[in-house]
């Protein structure tokens, strides 16, 4: 279970956590009539079956999953009406590894440090601080007026014809290029290493999780092998530990780190980074801070328009 994260506690060593693709969760929540910050389910590599005891609206965004409501396929980015007793199934994805499910009424679990998110590393938040198991019963809140309007609207159609842009609902890519900005330790690497960093292919290592994606490939050598003072790190930071194999930090990353920070994945590309799975090939491309700001501002403007469009569909 994840929401938009545990904000305001990094000074105490508490990770932000939350959905690794917060944008996908926001979109899924909008589609089902929830507040954008509502808690939903983060599903990794499929294998999930849910049975509902009352009528709910559901929507999911993320990797290339095969999702079925009974025998009916439910595409990413479309709201669907689930009737009492029906089952929703998530099979293994063909592309990517994660998706986010919004359920009308929101998942009702205790708020811990301002969030309903599960922190798997320290076992708190969410559903008893752990991943869900067979037989777990999840409490849901009441459908909002907006969600109830969607229930009435979809009684015949069952699945909405409207959806967000494809790269919002299905951001996973087979061989992505992640856009990055220079990190504070960019100049600790020589020109040859930097050129290889932005041109060579890296492979996702099996030793990857919600904390970070470890990459195999060329060794990124520093100019001088000296100790660094630990500094703040955030999701998207790319650290280079001894051995020169980079790590792309994700939502459950630590709050400080002492490895050189060669670069940072820009915010709008974090959803793509969240989809990287073992064996995936990935490249990096440098952009400026100005470009990163423009891309983020553009996405937020588009989301504001999408928010209005959703309301017009259910008036």
pTM of the model: 0.95
Rounded CA separation 241/137 (Å): 42
DSSP letter string, 229-278: --EE--TTEEE--TTS--EEE-TT--SEE-S-EEEEE-GGGHHHHTT--T
Query: Would you say 171 and 275 are in contact if contact means Cβ atoms under 8 Å apart?
Result: yes
Q: Residue 48, SS3?
A: strand
Question: To the nearest whole percent, how much of the chain has pLDDT over 70?
Answer: 99
- Residue 312's pLDDT is what? 82
Structure tokens belonging to residue 133: 């198991």
CA dist 65 → 80, 96, 107, 174 (Å):
16, 8, 22, 14
Q: Does residue 235 register a pLDDT over 80?
A: yes
313: part of which helix (H) or strand (E)? helix 289-313
As beta bridge partners, residue 80 has 58, 159
Secondary structure class of 28 (helix, strand, coil): helix
Look at residue 228 in the predicted model and tell me its pLDDT: 82
- Residues with Cβ within 8 Å of residue 149, at least 6 apart in sequence: 33, 314
Tell me the average pLDDT of the chain.
95
pLDDT for the residue 83: 95
Instruction: Name the CATH code of domain 177-295 (choices 3.40.50.740, 2.40.100.10, 3.20.20.70, 3.90.1150.10).
Output: 2.40.100.10
pLDDT in tens, 167-211: 999 999 999 999 999 999 999 999 999 999 999 999 999 999 999
Ordered by start, the domain boundaries in the chain are 10-171, 177-295
Distance CA 116, CA 127 (A): 9
Structural element, H or E, at residue 286: strand 281-286
- The answer on pLDDT for 313 being more than 80 is no
List C-alpha distances in Å: 94 to 58, 168, 262, 280, 290.
21, 17, 31, 12, 35
The confidence score (pLDDT) of residue 315 equals 65
Least reliable range by pLDDT among 154-163, 202-211, 273-282, 294-303? 154-163
pLDDT at 311 (0 to 100)? 83
Q: What angle do CA 199, 204, 207 make, to 5 degrees?
A: 140
CB-based contacts of 308-311 (< 8 A; 24+ apart in sequence): 309/162, 310/30, 310/31, 310/162, 311/146
Question: For residue 285, what are the CA distances in angstroms to 40, 102, 178?
Answer: 32, 32, 6
Q: Do 202 and 217 meet the contact criterion of CB atoms below 8 Å apart? A: yes
40-49, 105-114, 144-153, 221-230: lowest mean pLDDT where? 221-230
How large is the average pLDDT for residues 85-105?
97
Distance between CA 47 and CA 90 in Å, rounded? Answer: 6
Strands, DSSP E only, in 154-223?
A: 177-182, 202-204, 212-216
């Amino acid at each position: 279970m994840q929401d938009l994260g545990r904000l305001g506690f990094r000074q105490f060593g508490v990770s932000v956590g939350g959905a690794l693709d917060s944008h996908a969760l926001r979109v899924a929540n909008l589609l089902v009539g929830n507040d954008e910050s509502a808690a939903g389910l983060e599903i990794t590599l499929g294998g999930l079956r849910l049975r509902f005891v009352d009528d709910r609206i559901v929507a999911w965004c993320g990797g290339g999953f095969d999702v079925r409501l009974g025998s009916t396929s439910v595409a990413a980015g479309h709201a669907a009406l689930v009737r009492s007793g029906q089952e929703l199934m998530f099979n293994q994805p063909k592309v990517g590894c994660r998706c986010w499910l919004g359920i009308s009424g929101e998942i009702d679990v205790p708020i811990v440090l301002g969030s309903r998110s599960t922190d798997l590393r320290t076992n708190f938040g969410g559903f008893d601080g752990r991943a869900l198991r067979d037989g777990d019963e999840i409490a849901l809140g009441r459908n909002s007026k907006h969600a109830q309007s969607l229930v009435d609207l979809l009684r015949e159609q069952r699945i909405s014809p409207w959806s967000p842009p494809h790269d919002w609902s299905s951001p996973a890519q087979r061989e992505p290029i992640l856009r990055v900005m220079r990190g504070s330790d960019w100049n600790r690497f020589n020109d040859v290493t930097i050129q290889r960093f932005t041109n060579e292919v890296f492979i996702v290592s099996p030793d990857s999780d919600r904390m970070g994606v470890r990459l195999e490939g060329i060794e990124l050598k520093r100019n001088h092998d000296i100790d660094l003072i630990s500094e703040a790190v955030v999701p998207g930071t790319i650290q280079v530990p001894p051995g020169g194999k980079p790590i792309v930090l994700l939502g459950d990353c630590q709050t400080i780190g002492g490895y050189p920070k060669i670069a940072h994945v820009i915010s709008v590309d974090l959803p793509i980074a969240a989809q990287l799975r073992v064996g995936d090939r990935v490249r990096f491309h440098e952009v400026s801070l100005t470009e990163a700001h423009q891309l983020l501002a553009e996405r937020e403007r588009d989301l504001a328009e999408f928010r209005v469009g959703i309301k017009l569909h259910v008036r």
